[in-house]
Structure 1
């Protein structure tokens, strides 16, 4: 997988191959195409080290890392800071709170990765990455993207919820309704032929609003 050079005005989209890169991180050099083989990846950016909102967010990822591990998912962070700033910040937070950022954080001083993934948005900031989250499947396809401004922190429950949702749709070939959480009923894909529609109408095992909207328990 070769590194890609994208137009800086272009941003990766859902369904695109995740752009490849090689970068220095707090866990050593990482080439993304070789990172987390056969696993999901949640890649997220923060504006800057030693800042309050970012500290709460990174601590949130760190304290719930075991949940990501259980979901066969690796975490990787990023900001436009040096590796020395990253290491000092990780050490500072561990000393002050006991929380350890035990996942790689990319030192993106040249903004290469930030630009590659559309994390640097000039109308928000010319020099700080917005709070982006990329959900990338084991085939290195981008499956979901979240963007937050610099002054609003993310919701960790929602990040984990949508990760579980993506994995559920892949495993069972279903869709998920508004506000779905694990354990709730899922949506059965609608019929595509008249025969399938007639079979759906006669199927009493489903919870049906009509033939096009039917739910079931996994």
Structure 2
């Protein structure tokens, strides 16, 4: 493991699951040293990509650089990560700037040993390369993994969907309401189902106890 990279998670631990604390790490990045603990108190989107200087990954980083302000308005920090070295990251974001005029202002972490990727379940324990590392993890202000998505190397992520998912997580965080299918910010949410027989029997409609829109 490189001198400037440390992991608290052990390689033998089982894959990370939703609702579990996100493994803490510290590593070098394009914005200086990064420690996951520094992001407590706000939302964090940790997203991995298979490799620098690749078409799909480059398109994602351009799109995320353009959308960074929207994530900031939602109090969500961004951290990119790949198995490439810090110097590769620096050369890549310079190329992105020269090609598109966009500045990648969020940190891009190096993970050359893929220890972070393994701890987060982004790749299998026996993986020899980072080809499967297109995973996104949403970590809440308490440092708990609340959602994750995985895409293949040949398909890019949808930035509007990432923003939609983040807002759905934030709106439903207290457990009182739920985001239904195709929910968009501003749409009605649903009340969490009531779990007593008296609730199921007391409503005007037979669905009132589990399928009721929440007041805005």
Give TM-score scaled by structure 2 length.
0.89
Alignment partner, residue 31 of structure 2:
27
Aligned equivalent of 2:70, options 67, 71, 94:
67
Aligned equivalent of 1:138, options 138, 141, 148:
141
- What count of residue pairs does the alignment treat as equivalent? 209
In the TM superposition, structure 1's runs of 4+ consecutive aligned residues that sit over 2 Å from their partners are 120-123, 194-199, 208-212
- For structure 2, which runs of at least 5 residues remain unmatched after alignment? 1-6
2:138 match: secondary structure: strand
1:6 aligns with 2:11: yes
Distance 2:137 2:117 in 1: 12
1:40-189 aligned at under 5 Å gives the runs 40-121=43-124, 126-128=128-130, 129-170=132-173, 173-189=176-192
Distance 2:118 2:165 in 1: 25
1:180 match: secondary structure: coil
Distance 1:171 1:115 in 2: 30
Distance 1:191 1:44 in 2: 36
How much does 1:172 deviate? 7.0
1:211 aligns with 2:209: yes
Give TM-score scaled by structure 1 length.
0.89
1:214 match: secondary structure: coil
